[in-house]
Structure 1
Amino acid sequence: MLTRRQLLLAGLATGVASMAGCSSGSKEAGNGRPVREFGIASDPWKAADWGQAVGAKPTMVMEFESWDRNRTLDAHFQAAKDGKMESFAITWEPWTPVDLAANADAQSAVQPKFSNQAIVAGSLDGYIRNFATAVKKSDLTVYIRYAHEMNGDWYPWYHDPAVYAQAWRHIVDVFRSVGAKKAKFVFAPAVNLYQADDSAWMAGVQQYWPGAEYVDQVGTTMINLGRSKAYYVKDFKPRLKLLHETFGKGVVLAEVNSASEGRLKFFTELRTWLSTPEADYIRSVILSQLPSHGQASLGDQVGDLSWQVPTDDETRPVIKALIKDITPVA
């Protein structure tokens, strides 16, 4: 039997209406498939240099934003607009971050200030309202991946699934109350490939579901950590399809990356799959090459995730081609 920490680390490896212009049967990319978004996990000021190095532009950036910062992202939104982007993605985390490598138990402990119960009670409404107002003023389509991987046990918001769903609905209601119509909420569980049974996995996910009227897209992490945690596109496909079919929403690949060993196979498989009708429900792909928690925690058990697409001669052409395949402004 896997220990709790092994499950936690394995989860890291796997770890709204449809996007305008991206639904099946709408605009098509050069390969005849639906146009999607391609994003990178980065602040918007670095996006132009990344695109120049790769030879194809991302259509959005995705930032991780923890609630303890107690700020809005007005300058970030403006920088994205200055870079000719029309959309922005945020992984919005209600907590004060804890270093996973240093203390796994502390990472999952309830933080009362940011708990599901506190959100439902309205004690954070001022912050939520200010953030929603900034999203509205930006006039960008802002995809909010709120409290992701909730069906694992490595973040504090996994506690009390029913209250998690209430907190989600409360947040969306606040956004609606300020008229933030271009905010799109992404429900993003972990794929948890260490769970062999699809039905058991989905049952765990459904505990947290806030309701179709409160979710615009679903999504998940898609990372090949390599070595003992090596996963390829074929391993993720069944659960991506199950997410789509269960909830009836388009799917975001919200954190995509691979260890250096196997990276060319991983991204070539991804590009090939996205070019087929089977993958038409995928709405966006977000490459995340930020420092890896899995790398820090597992060390030599996993591959090297420190490489970067812009400086990698083997993978860069594949990513460039993938972007040009799926986006309208590559």
Structure 2
Amino acid sequence: MVRRRRLTGTTIGTVAASLLVSTGAAAGAVGAARAAGAGEDRQRAGGAVAVGAYVDYGKAGPRRIAELSRWLGHTYLPGDSRAGIEGRVDFLADWARWRQARDDRMFVLNVPVLERNEARVPDFQVRELLRAGARGQYDEHFRALAGRLVELGVPDTVLVLGWEMNGTTYTHRSGPDPAAWKAYWRRIVTAMRSVDGQSFRFDFAPNRGKDAVPWTACYPGDDVVDVIGMDSYDQAPGRTFEEQAEAPWGLRAQVAFAGEHGKQISCPEWGLFRNGDNSEYMRGMLDWIEEHRPLYQTITDYCPHGVWQCDDNPESSSVFRTRLFNQTGPPVPPVPTTRPSRPRRLYLQLRPRPR
């Protein structure tokens, strides 16, 4: 879903952070029944899905967790340079301290896997970069990141590598050479698992739908993937939520593929978009989450996607807060901080999506 991004250039000094709501509230609204084989994470949370809202950037994230979250934190490393990919950013220590404060917390980290990740690098260069990665040329970056996470005391981080790899937005896209991309993923996981003390889980998270290439063509193998994620916004392919679920390479395909491969699912990014304030979509997505019990889910909460900080979607906001918080009155938003700016790249459509 090539639409808006936030992770390069000078702005990345303050990187995106996802803050998550109380699992107690989520359990009351989403349901507490445990799926068979759901695993330790859901047992710790009483069966609740970890519920998130992308609300702020950088070091402010862990401070605002006290307002919105008890269990899950989710942020992104910058992809403009090697330092970002290796986790040499100050805010990572802040998130590590937040995670360490409670045993029942989960930390999710999106990791770009190539430098200049939003620089519109042409396909022929992407192809060469992917092939270099597949040969092991960048293994050192990921051993460094793994070592930093272990050193910071977050060896159990859930790592979303090269998200939306089936699309066209990022340098870490797979389309120019899917075979090299899969081999590169395998090198990354092998390098990170080689670091003593790690217990990482790796989340494979494409865009919903075919996009540039079918995401099944990018899948690197069961031995190097722990979670099958999917970024899904209210936009094509599919006009209604039902169409989005049933379309080829859609949400139902994600659930079926994960089941066939013995993996949990996740919803790393979702929210409103092309169809405006769409309460039926909101109900559909929350029903889907309740039925299929992802490991975690994170709603993008700035405009136009959001329902908590964004004032543009009152009907969807009412559905969200009623379902997740049993709250029928006006929401009590967190103390305002600098809202993410909307640079042009956040909404860049590099090519028409197939319909």
Same fold (TM over 0.5): yes
Structure-2 change in CA distance of 1:56 and 1:124 (3 Å): closer
State the shift of 1:244 in Å. 1.7
Instruction: Report what 1:288 is aligned to.
Output: 300
Q: Does residue 212 of the first structure (1) align with residue 227 of the second (2)? A: no
Paired with 2:227 and 2:264, the residues of 1 have a C-alpha distance of 5
1:166-315 matched pairs, under 5 angstroms: 166-179=183-196, 181-192=198-209, 204-225=214-235, 230-232=239-241, 235-236=244-245, 237-259=251-273, 261-276=276-291, 279-280=292-293, 282-289=294-301, 305=304, 309-312=308-311, 314-315=315-316
Q: Relative contact order, CA 8 A, sep 6+: which one is greater?
A: 1
Whether the aligned pair in 1 keeps the contact of 2:271 and 2:300 (CA below 8 Å) is yes
Letter of the 1:79 counterpart: D
Instruction: Report what 2:14 is aligned to.
Output: none
Say which SS state the counterpart of residue 189 (structure 1) adopts.
coil
Whether the aligned pair in 2 keeps the contact of 1:108 and 1:154 (CA below 8 Å) is no
Structure-2 change in CA distance of 1:174 and 1:310 (3 Å): same
Paired with 1:46 and 1:189, the residues of 2 have a C-alpha distance of 25
Paired with 1:160 and 1:46, the residues of 2 have a C-alpha distance of 36
1:67-146 matched pairs, under 5 angstroms: 68-71=81-84, 72-73=87-88, 75-83=90-98, 84=101, 86-93=105-112, 94-98=114-118, 106-107=120-121, 109-111=123-125, 115-140=129-154, 141-146=156-161
Letter of the 1:217 counterpart: V
Paired with 1:324 and 1:57, the residues of 2 have a C-alpha distance of 14
Whether the aligned pair in 2 keeps the contact of 1:45 and 1:80 (CA below 8 Å) is no
Paired with 1:48 and 1:319, the residues of 2 have a C-alpha distance of 23
Paired with 2:83 and 2:127, the residues of 1 have a C-alpha distance of 12
Whether the aligned pair in 2 keeps the contact of 1:219 and 1:253 (CA below 8 Å) is yes
State the shift of 1:66 in Å. 1.0
Paired with 1:21 and 1:145, the residues of 2 have a C-alpha distance of 19
What do the CA deviations read for 1:99-148 (whole angstroms, capped 9, x no partner)? 6xxxxxx4552446982222123322332221111111232232221122
Structure-2 change in CA distance of 1:152 and 1:46 (3 Å): closer
State the shift of 1:64 in Å. 4.5
State the shift of 1:174 in Å. 1.0
Whether the aligned pair in 2 keeps the contact of 1:88 and 1:143 (CA below 8 Å) is yes
Structure-2 change in CA distance of 1:110 and 1:20 (3 Å): farther
Paired with 2:59 and 2:107, the residues of 1 have a C-alpha distance of 9
Gaps of 5+ in 2: 6-36, 246-250, 327-355
Whether the aligned pair in 1 keeps the contact of 2:51 and 2:297 (CA below 8 Å) is yes
Worse-matched range after superposition: 210-219 or 124-133: 124-133
Q: Does residue 22 of the first structure (1) align with residue 35 of the second (2)? A: no
Whether the aligned pair in 2 keeps the contact of 1:47 and 1:61 (CA below 8 Å) is no
Say which SS state the counterpart of residue 70 (structure 1) adopts.
helix
Structure-2 change in CA distance of 1:118 and 1:323 (3 Å): farther
Q: Does residue 12 of the first structure (1) align with residue 2 of the second (2)? A: yes
Whether the aligned pair in 1 keeps the contact of 2:157 and 2:200 (CA below 8 Å) is yes
Structure-2 change in CA distance of 1:56 and 1:288 (3 Å): same
Aligned length: 275
Whether the aligned pair in 1 keeps the contact of 2:227 and 2:266 (CA below 8 Å) is yes
Paired with 1:323 and 1:77, the residues of 2 have a C-alpha distance of 29
What is the RMSD computed on CA atoms of the aligned residues? 3.7
Gaps of 5+ in 1: 1-10, 100-105, 196-200, 291-303, 326-330
Structure-2 change in CA distance of 1:271 and 1:51 (3 Å): farther
TM-score, normalization: structure 1?
A: 0.68
Instruction: Report what 2:342 is aligned to.
Output: none
State the shift of 1:268 in Å. 2.6
